[in-house]
Structure 1
């Protein structure tokens, strides 16, 4: 890839490790590296810390990762079963040294120059280069980017550069929303879930005043237009939930949601078989979080897996020695290969299981519904608990 250097400017600084994306995976990796005594620079496209999604289920594996990062007890004190992502990101950010995150820095392309030399082009025209000497006096000192970690989500630029398969549409979409109860909702710390008839829906409290709800379905021609406004989306969800005869408090939560708190999005995932031979890492470049394992939300494990990634990646990188102020590429490459080995089959397992669980739970096929309700429900629950019992280890 050729860069138009006439329209770009170099960025000053000196970082050995650059992390693209200040989401759960990016900040967890940065914090893990910080705990190991390794500096990193996190590039975030938005002008401030920004959460994606609505809620984060803190399963057992997530708390093990949070404990490894040193913030598990803080999260336990502040939250119930569902964790608002912005609060988790704030907790991770506050543990990082000031200046670790550079905002308004959106990566638009990764270039390869002279073999292993890489350059990151930002949306504002800036370029981060690797291992280049200053060629002209008027140029500022260039940033030395020796390790690149893509934590830039499902549409990851870094994953594309590595050649990972594009995320696929699952054939399902999800509406999500928040209901706010100023005087408290009175619900216990329980998750309500309703499956079948072509839908999958659930509701769970996030704290004493906020309730998160979701509704997944397979769009058809008769559903055209439901995404034109939040009001139509709410009406669509409520009418279908009434058909399922769900409890009135579930309907009330949807109806109570503000227009700005309702979101509809297609559910996408990376084909799990593509990860069997995929280049999760190449040289000193790798991916983590949704950039590695985008999955449907049916296990509520996306954020948990991102925390696992952060701890394991920080451990694998932290065990590579920084020599004379620089990073020895062969040791880094070996560390990233080890990270890829550990995360390949875990990612495959999570993505495949989430996809199958979603299809089975949402199915309106009479035979599948019979198996789900009479035979598979216990097996699916045990499978979920086994996946949530994963131990990513310590730093």
Structure 2
């Protein structure tokens, strides 16, 4: 089949690899003038690593893993574990760790796995006709047997084909992400995510293979957000001055040009289907969720593998039936995950007495039980 993928982010490129492996001809259309290689860090969960195995990239991703840092995944703002997890037991049960790496490194791996010339940048898609697979850009018209909408959380394709869907819903929580080089084991006491029951703020950091640290901070949008990156870092440093000292040290070591700021968001409700005639939705275009589960990339990679498997041996006349199978496989689990992400955010941002009750409750969970729940 001839397949057009709208969007060459991580999910779109993964879909391109999977569909080429399934024997199809693939063209990726990217609106940006250059391939999307920007961003801070990203965590790939074990299911995402296994999906990348199917794309031939699993070993390259595992080479980026850092093992053995931290004894708890959830902590209070002083760095004291609230919920202790046996990380070795989790890795043994799941087969893989969470791998943290620069987003640009992951994007480069995916790009290099695609044939030269597969990605067409500067391609502004104006219209997609779901019934016959016509894709009209500002410079050309393509006829595809299958169109994959991988154009991100603010998907134009989703808005066009689901005009009554409410789209993204902002969370009311701001996030900043950055990578700081050369920190190494100096931040081991705060590896994981820190919760502040006083303000509802959060801070997380993960080590990367080159000795750098990927960190993120979240806070209520009601607190305000300085527009200038340097002012934002100074403000955040003051806000987190009474947290574990490694938090302020990481913020102080961050260059203003290294930060990426956004308000987190997820779909207001799940899509009614991931398949419309000859169009398949994938990744954030299909199931954008807040980042609380760290599953954005993993779910996109699972989508890509599922779509590639479903398309193997399929011709143009079988596309709509094939997409019904893809929808049945991918929509139910991602819809549940969207709900879980919303619940996790609500629990993580509790403050005052509810926040104190949360901390007391999760401190009472035995490490063995917490570990078992993580591996189920």
- What TM-score do you get using the length of structure 1 for normalisation? 0.79
Q: CA contact under 8 A between 1:110 and 1:121: conserved in structure 2?
A: yes
Deviation at 1:375? 3.9
2:234 — aligned with what?
235
Structure 1 gap ranges (5+):
1-14, 129-142, 390-395
Pair member with larger Rg: 1
Deviation at 1:110? 2.8
Which structure has the higher relative contact order (CA within 8 Å, separation 6+)? Answer: 2
Q: CA contact under 8 A between 1:109 and 1:157: conserved in structure 2?
A: no
1:42 — aligned with what?
28
Q: CA contact under 8 A between 2:41 and 2:177: conserved in structure 1?
A: no
1:245-287 per-residue CA deviation (whole Å, 9 max, x = no partner) reads: 3222221111111111122211110124x43xx1321111011
1:145 — aligned with what?
144
1:16-52 per-residue CA deviation (whole Å, 9 max, x = no partner) reads: 2100111111111111111122111111112322135
Q: CA contact under 8 A between 2:133 and 2:147: conserved in structure 1?
A: no
2:300 — aligned with what?
306
1:82-129 per-residue CA deviation (whole Å, 9 max, x = no partner) reads: 1222211221222222221111112243356xxx2354332xx2242x
Structure 2 gap ranges (5+):
67-98
1:91 — aligned with what?
109
**In 2, Cα distance between equivalents of 1:99 and 1:195:** 45
**In 1, Cα distance between equivalents of 2:103 and 2:245:** 28
- Give the 3-state SS of the residue equivalent to 2:287 in structure 1: coil
**In 2, Cα distance between equivalents of 1:151 and 1:43:** 10
**In 2, Cα distance between equivalents of 1:372 and 1:356:** 16
Establish whether residue 283 from structure 1 lines up as the match of residue 301 from structure 2: no
Count of aligned positions? 338
1:102 — aligned with what?
120
2:94 — aligned with what?
none
**In 2, Cα distance between equivalents of 1:190 and 1:59:** 19
Q: CA contact under 8 A between 1:186 and 1:208: conserved in structure 2?
A: no
The CA RMSD over aligned residues, in Å, is 2.5
1:325-380 per-residue CA deviation (whole Å, 9 max, x = no partner) reads: xx22xx11111111111111111121111111112112114124313441488599
2:346 — aligned with what?
359
Q: CA contact under 8 A between 1:162 and 1:281: conserved in structure 2?
A: no
Q: CA contact under 8 A between 1:119 and 1:127: conserved in structure 2?
A: no
Cα distance change of structure 1 residues 33 and 190 upon mapping to structure 2, 3 Å threshold? farther
**In 2, Cα distance between equivalents of 1:282 and 1:237:** 44
- What TM-score do you get using the length of structure 2 for normalisation? 0.82
